[in-house]
Amino acid sequence: MSSSEDEMPEGISFMQSREEEILKQKLVQQDLQREKDKKKFIHQSREKRNIAQKEKKLLSVELLKKADAAIKLDEARKKKLQENSDTHEINNEQSQDMEDDSFVKIAKTKEFTKPLSTEAVNFKTNHLYNGRIRRMDNKQQQNLKHKLMAKSR
């Protein structure tokens, strides 16, 4: 009975195999913990990035509000200046009647707009009120070409 089947396996102690299994389980747990930590880190970095984007967006909203306020102030100043200039012109007219006519009043001129040429006006009216330009794709053109060729035969 010297065959290999009849031989006893080498003696493996119970304690040694138990320790090997415990080490394997610890390695698997460490790998799982590393994966969990990695996902947690990725999630935190995304959250930080999103918060930073929101803050940046809020800053731009605040800047827009400040710009709107500045525009409103500017418009109010222009309105006051216009009102003051209107009352000032009335006062000037009265004072000019009293004074010599040494000053010449300069009236505000209208903004100059270039008149449209007749060709431009005709083009505009044609495109606004006349039929639209119909466009065909390549396939439709080929079908139309074949129909015309068939009719001409």
User: Is 52 part of any domain?
Assistant: yes
User: What is the number of domains present in the chain?
Assistant: 1
Query: Does residue 1 carry a pLDDT above 90?
Result: no
Give how far Cα 65 sits from Cα of 68, 73, 75, Å: 5, 12, 15
For residue 43, being part of any structural domain is answered with yes
One-letter identity of residue 62: E
pLDDT at 87: 67
117 in a structural domain = no
Q: The tokens of 86 are what?
A: 């209107």
- The answer on pLDDT for 123 being more than 70 is yes
Lowest average pLDDT, out of 2-6, 59-63, 117-121, 147-151, goes to 2-6
| 3-state secondary structure at position 36 | helix
Q: What percent of the chain has pLDDT over 70?
A: 69
pLDDT in tens, 76-89: 888 888 887 766 66
> For 4-60, how does the pLDDT look when each residue is reduced to its tens digit (9 = 90+)?
566 655 666 778 888 999 999 999 999 999 999 999 999 999 999 998 888 877 767
Residue 88 lies in domain: 14-99
Model pLDDT, residue 91: 59
pLDDT at 132: 62
Quick check: is 147 in a domain? Answer: no
Q: Provide the residue type at 114 as one letter.
A: K
**How far does CA 2 lie from the centroid of its chain?**
84
Query: DSSP letter string over 103-134?
Result: S-PPPPPPPP-PPPPHHHHHHHHHHHHSPPPP
The 3-state DSSP class for residue 145 equals helix
Q: Examine residue 108 and state whether it is found in any structural domain, yes or no.
A: no
